[in-house]
Structure 1
Amino acid sequence: MKVYEAAYIAGVIDGEGSITLTRMHAREHRRPVITIASTDKELLTYLQSITGGCISNKKNYKPGKHKNSFTLNIKVKREVFYVLEMIEPYLRINQKKKRALWILNNYDRVTNRNGKYTNDDLLDKLKFEEEFFAIK
């Protein structure tokens, strides 16, 4: 990723994206994800060519009244971390910058590779999530 691409992507995420933790499956711990919603599929296709991820269609309940909408979802850990590392210096929305740094600095520390947690590890993981969502 080139510097100008990282800055551009940071601007798009500041405006139309989110950096969050989500569950992919019901019994799973939350993991980082970057999402960008837009009615401009060409924009999302361009961003996908740089960042990876997948584009999904959003349900349009009023086709005559609303444009079709799409979401770029970046869910694979190495892709999420790569994008966050590249764009973090250019993020301007304070909450998104803090969330990016929180994930980069703490996620690996509280996440066991095999997904099995001792009671203390589980408490650390849940505290990490709680503090993440408290970021304003």
Structure 2
Amino acid sequence: MANYGKVNTLSGIDSAYIAGLIDGEGTVSLLRKHKQDNRQVVVSISNTDRPLINYLLEAIGAGKATSKRTYSERHTPSFMYAITNRHALDLLRQVAPHLGPTKPGEPSCSLPTTSGSPRAMADTPWV
């Protein structure tokens, strides 16, 4: 079920926990749904534990949860939480202090310091 509300302000514990989920089970990517579309920021987390996905929906207050198709009866049913565009940026701003570099020597997470349209953000300094 999709929820297009505002992203909730996360507590320190929730933001650290969600950052760990993004780091361990999730992805942060730029996707283009159609060739002529602009890219969208997408944060997604996949897991086989439906209550965990429900927790993300409740804690974050925006995004959607979907079931992933199983192609074999031996596969465990899995679920995915996804949040896109400005909502994804709002979430990333809150969890960024808890996201570290992926490899030694790489900078940690950097995000634009202002919100707004993607065109306005093109000339925005990054932190």
What TM-score does the superposition give when structure 1 sets the normalisation length? 0.69
1:105 paired residue among 101, 112, 119? 112
Residue 99 of structure 2 corresponds to residue 91 of structure 1: yes
Deviation at 1:27, TM superposition (A): 1.5
Deviation at 1:83, TM superposition (A): 0.8
Deviation at 1:67, TM superposition (A): 0.7
Amino acid at match of 1:3: G
- Which residue in the other structure is 2:6 paired with? none
Cα distance in 2 for partners of 1:26, 1:2 equals: 38
In the TM superposition, structure 1's runs of 4+ consecutive aligned residues that sit over 4 Å from their partners are 97-100, 106-110
What is the CA deviation profile of residues 4-47 of structure 1, one whole-angstrom value per residue up to 9, with x for unaligned ones? 00000000111000011001333201110100000111101101
Query: Which is richer in helix?
Result: 1
**Runs of 5+ unmatched residues, structure 2:** 1-9, 123-127
Cα distance in 2 for partners of 1:108, 1:85 equals: 10
Residues 33 and 47 (structure 1 numbering): CA distance in 2 closer, same or farther, change over 3 Å? same
**Runs of 5+ unmatched residues, structure 1:** 114-123, 125-136
Cα distance in 2 for partners of 1:57, 1:99 equals: 31
Residue 69 of structure 2 corresponds to residue 59 of structure 1: yes
Query: Which is richer in strand?
Result: 2
- Which residue in the other structure is 1:118 paired with? none
How much is the aligned-residue C-alpha RMSD, in angstroms?
A: 2.8
Aligned length: 110
Tell which deviates more after alignment, 13-22 or 25-34. 25-34
- The percentage of counterpart residues that share the same residue type is 30
Deviation at 1:86, TM superposition (A): 0.7
Residues 109 and 2 (structure 1 numbering): CA distance in 2 closer, same or farther, change over 3 Å? closer
Residue 51 of structure 2 corresponds to residue 42 of structure 1: yes
- Which residue in the other structure is 2:38 paired with? 29
What is the CA deviation profile of residues 92-122 of structure 1, one whole-angstrom value per residue up to 9, with x for unaligned ones? 3527x95841xx2289688237xxxxxxxxx
Cα distance in 1 for partners of 2:114, 2:41 equals: 8
